Amino acid sequence: MFGDLDKYILVFLVGLIVTYLLTPVVRGMALRFGVVDLPNARRPHKRPTARGGGLAVVLGVHAACLVAVLFPWPRLVGALDFDWWQKFALASLILLVVGVIDDVRGMKPLIKLGGQVAAALIMWFSGTRFGLLLGHAVPESVDCVLTVLWLVAIINAFNLIDGLDGLASGLAIISAVGVCGIMVMQQVPGEVLLLVGFIGACLGFLRYNFHPASIFLGDTGSMFIGFTLGVVSLQTFNKNTFLISMAIPVMILGVPIYDVLLAVWRRSVRSLVNNKDAGGKRGIMQPDMEHLHHRLIKAGFSTQRVATLLYALNGVLVTVGLTIMFFQSHAAGIFLIALTAGVYVLMRQLAVIELRETGSALLMGLRRPTHSTFMGLVYPLWDMVWLAGSLALIMSVVEGQRADFWHTWFMELPIWVTPTFSLLALSRTYVTYWPRARLRDVLMVFFWLQTGIFSSLGLALVIDPEARLKWLIRAILIVGLSHPVIIASRLVYRCIEELVFWLKRQGEASGEIEKVVLYGAGVRAQLFLRDRVIKTSTGSDGRQILGFIDDESGLHFQWVYGFLVLGGIKELPLLIERQKVSHVIIVSDLLPQNRAAIQEITNRCGIKLSEWRPEEHDVSWPQPAIPQTSF
């Protein structure tokens, strides 16, 4: 009988050695039968490479599992016993068949999804479930849906992230180490034993899969890796509070989960936009080149550097997950800090494309004139709900109205809601097309809102002058709760437009682009920038705007319309040299001497000069000449 440490070493070595020895055999078979990945835009490798190497990983993991569950050691604490392994092996066999067929000759996405669901259902019927959530037993139907969704999500997360040498197998090792740490803290060494075999198998394969890879996992391996981690991670759900149960697996499996969430978000928006556009169809199941590793490669990182960066990111997330587990009494605070930081990084650095395309889709929908009738009905309903709802909230929470609340609230509506709503209806606010509104239109809404609340306050004081303090506080609270939301609903288009504009600037720093400087930081420059956002709402125009130059010295090195004024015309030659400027666009009326100067500079530097101007042009047909009649 082996000691405790010997058990883990043996299982680890079985997984490592079996996979290490079988991988060259699988590689030779793949090359012999033509199961190879050819170089293309989505794969950075340079020569045809064998795929389907996951078969060796599957066999290595199950060999380690057999040693762990069949060897005559004392009974280990944990649910992953021989009976569990039998169900796990059956589910793995289904995924293995699906993966091999897909690697050899391809498979329709829906059929592959059906195989994943079948494997997940087998595990649910075997007892691998969510269990308790929020301290309550989950109904079986809900538990089944949650389990299937979780396992299918993790399977596809590793399937999607497997686009770079050593990436999926390396991330799987890091995630498995994190899950092992959790299970050590939960004192279930039997489950740790099986994961140790999984780590050994992934390491054995990584020897052949790291850059430059001689064999790829293929769907056979990536789906199995995700399935194994998804199944084992479910064991952590039943033993913690809801917060820890949800936080830990998400942190441990962080990078693949984030990548699949971004992919679903991105493809859903593109599918929605393209369904409205007759130019083509792109479904949510269609592959693209916007995964995390693709973006890092486009940013100029090497294959090895990308893998290392994503390893490090997943390692940080694993550390956060283990920290949450270790400091359970402070888990809420740690999770909140980690979530806030993660959301910031995700949105600021990794979700620029998704945010930009979502904003573009919203802009495209909001500025459709066919929606004006619908929005003309939505705005009155929106205003009424916020005015009436804020009154109900104030009466209930602040004033403590309890007895006959709804009757009293209904009787107060004519005093506190009707004047404001009537003034808004009588004004032109409900016939204004807000995506094309001006500041004056927003100020008019503000004016009528204030006039309405003053009218309501006056009516209340006339009815009950003794409660003037109560009415004044109520008026202030209604203004604070409802008026900002009503005004913001009119500005949502402008906010989205500015967000899209800013996100486009973030995406302009990579690729072959034209570096542009704008001459003139006046009103016409603002019109140019707005026109550019509208014209490029569904794609990039291949330009990066560096900033402005302007003749007004008081604007130099100030921010105008979101860009820095880099100086005047005297600084332009140095700016062209340092920033590699290739194009100057005039967006202002220039004096003749300034126009001549800018033409001389751009000609001397050999860069493009153009002018943008919104002008009125006479396009009327020439009038026919009236024949003259002599008398």
- The string of pLDDT tens digits covering residues 368-418 is 544 445 556 778 888 888 899 999 999 888 888 777 788 888 888 888 998
| CA distance linking residue 412 with residue 387, whole number of Å | 12
- Phi/psi at 607 (nearest 5 deg)? -115, 165
Burial 577-601 (b: 16+ CB within 10 A, else e): eeeebbbbbbbbebeeebeeebeeb
* Mean pLDDT score, 358-364: 59
pTM for this entry: 0.56
pLDDT value of residue 277: 46
The CATH number of the structural domain formed by 511-611 is 3.40.50.20
Q: Where are the alpha helices (DSSP H) in 131-253?
A: 140-161, 167-185, 189-209, 218-233, 242-252
Q: Of 469, 389, 373, 394, nearest to 421 (Cα)? A: 389
Q: Where are the alpha helices (DSSP H) in 50-128?
A: 54-70, 82-105, 109-125
Q: Are 165 and 307 in contact (CB under 8 A)?
A: yes
- The string of pLDDT tens digits covering residues 293-324 is 666 766 666 777 777 777 777 677 777 666 66
- The string of pLDDT tens digits covering residues 431-484 is 777 766 777 888 888 999 999 999 999 989 888 888 889 999 999 999 999 999
Kindly give, in sequence order, each residue whose CB lies less than 8 Å from that of residue 192, ignoring residues fewer than 6 positions away.
8, 180, 183, 184
Task: Specify the pairing of strand 563-564 against strand 608-611.
Answer: unpaired
Residue 622 buriedness (CB in 10 A; 0-12 / 13-18 / 19+): exposed
pLDDT value of residue 505: 58
Give domain limits for the chain.
Answer: 4-350, 370-502, 511-611
| CA distance linking residue 395 with residue 283, whole number of Å | 49
On average, the pLDDT of the chain sits at 77
